[in-house]
Amino acid sequence: MNSSLTINSIVSFATAFLMLHFLNEYSTALAASYFGLKPIMYVHSIKYSAYDMWTPYNVKRVFLISGIMNLVLGVIFFRLFLRVKEKNKWYRVFFLWCSVVGLIMFLGKLLSVPFYEFKPDPPGHIAFGVVAAYKYLGLAVKWVIAGFSMLLMIASGLFFTYQFLRNAESKDQLKKGEFRRNFIFKIILIPYLIGMAVVAATNFPNNLKTLMIYFFVGLVIIFSSMMFSSRTIKVLLHKDEPQKLSFLAVGVLCVLILLYLTFYSKGIGCKGYFEFLLCCNCTG
């Protein structure tokens, strides 16, 4: 099996995760700045200066927007994947990982609902948990939401099985159920595990709880996909060309890591760096 495909998958996943995490946090911080909460974005959290300005009105809007955006971006990137899936390019794998990561973040927010209590300085990662705690939803309702998210994870594994297998480079990789499971193991699961290690080292030094929730969601989806891949699935391959290592993908990942380790780690927003990115009013 072509090692370049595995490396491209690792790089694509890590790039997709860091990019979508930034968009996730940025949408939350931007919404908070609109309500005058004076947010500052960091690698592991968002800090707010105006604690006394939290209301039920802005809590729902600030913390629901990122979760909804994750789902919308997942759909958009999947549509992009459908447009390029017949081309043997690294961005085919990249768009698919972007779609999967968007879904992981959305379902992670649903799964986190029973495990969160409202605090004066809520993180943006587990947005649905913030809203549920603020609205005093009963524990039984919260567990129903978490259970529903588990069902969606298994269904997502079934849905993405065919899409994962479309990244195969030859029909020989898809002959039998064992071959298909082995393909998903090497091209999807191994890159996922290594990519999450890269993300953890770069992005989540102080927020392992959120990363563990996302990690669990991704594992359920991928293991479900491996299980469903044992079934007879006909996957059409338009090209049998081996994929080459994408230096563009590696370059994009390096730029993102540099962003996280330098500018982003120093804080973006009110009384931090790059205040114009949040359009916030930092007076007072």
The pLDDT tens digits for 120-152 are 454 445 566 666 666 656 777 778 888 898 999
- The answer as to whether 50 is a domain residue is no
Structural domain includes residue 258: yes
Asked, for residue 224, whether it belongs to a domain, the answer is yes
* Both structure tokens of 145: 């939401």
Give CA angle at 23 (22, 25), nearest 5°. 65
Print the domain residue range for 77: 3-33+64-265
CA distance 114 to 60: 17
Backbone phi and psi for residue 48, each to the nearest 5 degrees, phi listed first: -120, 135
Asked whether residue 46 is assigned to any structural domain, the reply reads no
Count the domains in the chain: 1
108 in a structural domain = yes
Q: Where are the alpha helices (DSSP H) in the chain?
A: 3-34, 56-84, 90-111, 127-134, 139-165, 177-184, 190-203, 208-228, 247-261
Q: Is residue 158 part of a domain?
A: yes
Residue 283 is assigned to a structural domain of this protein: no
Q: Can you list the alpha helix ranges (DSSP code H) found in 119-246? A: 127-134, 139-165, 177-184, 190-203, 208-228
Domain-located, residue 153: yes
25-76 confidence digits (pLDDT tens) = 888 888 888 877 778 777 767 777 766 677 777 777 777 888 888 899 999 9
